[in-house]
Structure 1
Amino acid sequence: MRLGYFSMPLHPLGRTWQETLAEDREAVILADRLGFHDAFIGEHLTDLHENITSSMLFLATLISDTEQILLATGTTNLSHQHPVLVAAHAAMFDHLSDGRFILGVSPGALPSDAEVLGILDEDRNRLFAEAIDVICAVWESEPPYRLNLPDNRFTVTTEQTIDLDLGVGVLPKPLQTPRPEIVGTVVAPYSKGVVAMGRRDFHPLSANFLLPQWVATHWPNYAEGKQAAGASADPADWRIARTIFVADDPAVAEGYGRADASSPYRFYYSQMLTKMRKIGRLGLFKTHRDQPDDEITLDHVLDRLVITGTPESVAEQIVDFRAETGDFGELVYAGLDWVDPRLARRSMELMTQKVMPSVNAAIGA
């Protein structure tokens, strides 16, 4: 099982933007040094806590400061910009990074982002589907393109202005062939979108804030999509994100990872719980569909979604989690605010040096 890194990220108010961006960069650089396979970075335009407005721009600053880690948008919100811009910028990033690029995509879920862009009343899932079709078609096509896809608002062509002798009218292609890996974040139980991912040979990343029982619903749908495309689903292509904190001392693990008022894990899930309650998605945290809303407390969420403890304990919890979800190829470690930089770094070190070797020994056996 591989180890990946994912960060939204989410910081408390009061810290400067310059400081939090520097910390987020340091976390990815550390992940590269420790041997993490990839790093996914999220983006939002209008959230003061989530400070990265463009995951691709942020990741571009890390190309020269990292050596082997794959740099992944996690996600590029496709409802926010014209798909030709995404295709062209992603292609350039792939060349700049020497092929260390993964395109992570989603519709974009934050309503205030949609409002500021004037698309609050638009069907953002449809925008997403239309955009990804255009991105793939641009990479597969040759100029002057003539892309007028059925039921798609985006028409792409350079027929009137192309001049191959002059080198204009031509969109760039990625370095990786036929294209970079495309990963879609899955945030809903029984997601039908993951069926479409299977058909298109995109790869799923199940969100860290989903209960294990809901994560387990993703794989059958992905396998269904692969089967519809005449292919077999490979568990190596399935990533699952989890919120994990590892410490040498069990009391420190429980306090920093869950119980202390200053715990970044407590802050993160307090924010997530408030947001999900506000937008009517509290069901993500429910153990059964008809569970009363008043049972979904912060401690209820923390107890079920934070894996914390010593390396031995965390390894056991991950193996138990895998028994509930089924086999998957990559565990994606969710990065949070570094309230205590020493503990945050040590947790990542323990994940690579002790936890993952134990997990892989156990599942190999």
Structure 2
Amino acid sequence: MSKLRSGIFLAPFHPVDEDPTRAIRRDIELIEWLDKLGFEEAWIGEHHSAGYEIIASPELFIAAAAERTNRIKLGTGVVSLPYHNPLMAANRIIQLDHMTQGRVMFGVGPGLLPSDAYMLGIEVAKQRDRMVEALEVILRLFKGETVTAETEWFQLNKAKLQLRPFTDPYPEVAVASSVTPSGGKLAGKHGLGMLCVAATNTAGYDALGINWEVANKVAAENGTTMNPSKLRLVGPMHLAETREEARQQIKYGFDKWRYYFGSINPMGIDTQEGKDPLDAMIESGQAIVGTPDDAIAQIERLQEKIPGFGAFLMLAHNWANFENTKRSYELFARHVKPKFHGANTAREESLAWATENSGEFIGAAMNAAMQTIAKHQAEEEAKTKSRGAAD
């Protein structure tokens, strides 16, 4: 089984009472920090309204972040395909594939915010069908085909990419999936990855197994198989040395995030009447606000649901100030990642072996020390006798 990868899903969420320029620059700094810590992936969202999620072009952001990082892979999380001509979207990703030398990943979806679709004059009911139409054309273009196609919203005449992919055969493609089975069906049909963006939300968690089963069924019908290493599950976390510290730290921004996320996001957040909103999210399993051990337990819960899934992505949320946010990711890298990489298995075995045999080893060491002392004493006595004989 491959090692569990880790990363973030960066919408982002920035309150309307802070400077947007600094917020975007801080997002880039965060990606640099994750790269230094050894995180494997970061996915960047596309949004055009509602004021909080202020990255309109994940491709532009990825181009900047790629120049400041070395190893972390960068994905669009996601390109809202109904908003773009498929030839233009394909060209931008292939250009990024070259600019990043193979570190770009192509996440796609229908578009999350209805207000975005409204401004573009797109009926929400048509978004998923348009995503499918666009993606099937893009995949053909990625494969080097010449495409002529006409739909109610785009037309291509002998369209062909003038630049072949840097990645063989082309960058990894992942489809957004939440509650409905549409993402799983599309991923299964083409053998693509899946981005389960609401994996720890109650409804999203309940649908995980069903949607994965749908994807595998459709894949089998199309003569392919789903690769669990391409399945990514998203959930919010904030870590500190103690649960009390974690709760104290997120007082910085949790309520602002809850207001926005609960008002705008179709998935909403888990709530219970008469219960503290944070307690409700923690008790339902939607969020972790606690220690690395709590994070480990959450990932193990997801592994019981979908054994062998490939990556856990923390939802980037700015609940805490930037320094405590960076510290949270550092704690994850120090104490959670090693658990799922088996990084300390040999060390633990070595410590256990040394401890179990400590009596024998310490006895041998003490015996060796006594022998050394006795040898030294014998040598000194011999020297004294030698000097006495000479006198």
TM category (shorter chain) comes to 0.7 to 0.9
2-side partners of 1:229 and 1:331: how far apart?
28
Secondary structure of the residue aligned to 1:233 is: coil
Q: Tell me the residue number matched to 2:373.
A: none
Q: Tell me the residue number matched to 1:268.
A: 257
Q: CA deviation at 1:22?
A: 0.7
Whether contact under 8 Å (2:253, 2:318) holds in the other structure is: no
Whether contact under 8 Å (2:47, 2:53) holds in the other structure is: yes
1:174 aligns with 2:153: no
Whether contact under 8 Å (1:6, 1:41) holds in the other structure is: yes
1-side partners of 2:121 and 2:281: how far apart?
34
2-side partners of 1:336 and 1:237: how far apart?
24
Q: Structure 1 residues 187, 140: CA separation in 2 closer, same or farther (over 3 Å shift)?
A: same
Give unpaired runs (5+ residues) of structure 1: 160-168, 287-292
Q: Tell me the residue number matched to 1:248.
A: 241
Give unpaired runs (5+ residues) of structure 2: 346-391
Whether contact under 8 Å (2:44, 2:75) holds in the other structure is: yes
Q: CA deviation at 1:59?
A: 1.0
| Aligned alpha-carbon RMSD (Å) | 2.7
Secondary structure of the residue aligned to 2:226 is: coil
Secondary structure of the residue aligned to 2:295 is: helix
Task: Among all aligned residue pairs of Structure 1 and Structure 2, give the percentage whose two residues are the same amino acid.
Answer: 24
Whether contact under 8 Å (2:233, 2:313) holds in the other structure is: yes
Q: Tell me the residue number matched to 2:210.
A: 217
Q: Specify the structure having the higher radius of gyration (Cα).
A: 2
Whether contact under 8 Å (2:148, 2:158) holds in the other structure is: no
1-side partners of 2:274 and 2:307: how far apart?
28
| 1:36-89 deviation line (CA, Å, top 9, x unaligned) | 111100011112111101111111111210001111000011111111110111
Letter in 2 for 1:328: F
2-side partners of 1:252 and 1:6: how far apart?
24
TM-score computed with the length of structure 1 as normaliser? 0.84
Residue of structure 2 aligned with 1:318, choices 275, 289, 299: 299
Q: Structure 1 residues 170, 226: CA separation in 2 closer, same or farther (over 3 Å shift)?
A: closer
Q: Structure 1 residues 146, 330: CA separation in 2 closer, same or farther (over 3 Å shift)?
A: closer
Q: CA deviation at 1:294?
A: 6.0
TM-score computed with the length of structure 2 as normaliser? 0.78
The alignment of Structure 1 onto Structure 2 pairs a total of residues equal to 337
1:185 aligns with 2:176: yes
Whether contact under 8 Å (1:318, 1:359) holds in the other structure is: no
Whether contact under 8 Å (2:193, 2:227) holds in the other structure is: no
Richer in helix (by share): 2
Secondary structure of the residue aligned to 2:75 is: strand
Q: Tell me the residue number matched to 1:162.
A: none
Matches within 5 A, 1:54-93: 54-93=57-96
Whether contact under 8 Å (1:99, 1:175) holds in the other structure is: yes
2-side partners of 1:146 and 1:102: how far apart?
23
